[in-house]
Amino acid sequence: MKKILFGLLLGLFALTFTTVTAANNYWMNETYAVGSSNFYETECISTHIGFLVQDGWYRDESGRKVISSASVNYTRYDFCQGIPLLNANGSVPISKLTFHTYGNLAAATLNTTIPVVDTLTNQSQTLVVRMNWIANGPQERTRNNYHSHDGGILLISHSVSIIQPATLVGSIVAKGKNLIAGQAVTGDMGRGSEIHISIGH
């Protein structure tokens, strides 16, 4: 119902203002899942593994584009010597076969393989990611509406977002070793949409 009312509102503005400044218009709809694990391998060496899944689309003056990828950052640092040991990054496209959400963010699963490259040595390796997000608390919902009229241009913005805390269970395997075995993994899921419109007269 709220979407219908917002559409009617935009229709009324269109009747009043004759020129739409398409170059400044933007629409976005996205579902995401994020997670990270931070721990010490030894007293000196710390490890960070962060991963992000984005599944959605956006549209601007150049057309509609798909946002659909899984990315990972894997770093190791020696605090005793003060030197980085690893800074590996990688990203791959995803599909409904590799990433899926259930219900209204009740759960999500990611099953994919992500090649990463170490920026320190330019060496590559492959991470096999099997991760499950399970909702574990109330959702946080945010809704924003904004409009302004400046210099003959009416700016309209509307956004809705949902953040769902989650418990993460799974594995990230490199060279046959589960990098997060026995380690805590934290993260959440979310969904959001935005629309930004400029109308001139």
d(CA 112, CA 164): 22
Short-list 95, 166, 88, CA closest to 127: 88
Which tens digits make up the pLDDT trace of 43-88?
999 999 999 999 999 888 888 899 899 999 999 999 999 999 999 9
In the prediction, which pLDDT does 9 show? Answer: 32
Q: What is the pLDDT of residue 17?
A: 31
For residues 77 and 84, the answer to whether their CB atoms sit within 8 Å is yes
Region of residue 177 (phi > 0: left; psi between -120 and 50: alpha; otherwise: beta) = beta
Kindly state whether residue 20 falls inside one of the protein's structural domains: no
- Residue 24 placed within a domain: no
Mean pLDDT over residues 135-140, rounded?
96
Residue 50 CA to residue 76 CA, distance in Å, equals 12
**Enclosing domain of residue 178:** 30-139+162-193
Count CB atoms within 10 A of the CB of residue 47: 19
Render pLDDT for 80-136 as a digit per residue (tens, 0 to 9): 999 999 999 999 999 888 999 999 999 999 999 999 999 999 999 999 999 999 999
Greater confidence, 115 or 19? Answer: 115
**Is there a domain that residue 166 lies in?**
yes
In a domain, 17, yes or no: no
In a domain, 144, yes or no: no
Tens-place pLDDT, residues 144-199: 998 888 777 888 899 999 999 999 999 999 999 999 999 999 999 999 999 988 87
Q: What's the token pair of residue 130?
A: 């099997």
Q: How confident is the model at residue 10 (pLDDT cuts 50, 70, 90)?
A: very low
Mean pLDDT, residues 24-30 taken together: 85
Q: 30, 67 in Cβ contact below 8 A?
A: yes
Whole-angstrom distance, CA of residue 47 vs CA of residue 185: 12
How many domains does one find in the chain? Answer: 1
Q: What is the pLDDT of residue 23?
A: 47
Give the distance, in angstroms, between the CA of residue 111 and the centroid of all CA atoms in the same chain: 16
87 assigned to some structural domain: yes
Tell me if 66 is assigned to some domain. Answer: yes
H or E stretch covering 10: helix 2-16
Examine residue 16 and state whether it is found in any structural domain, yes or no. no
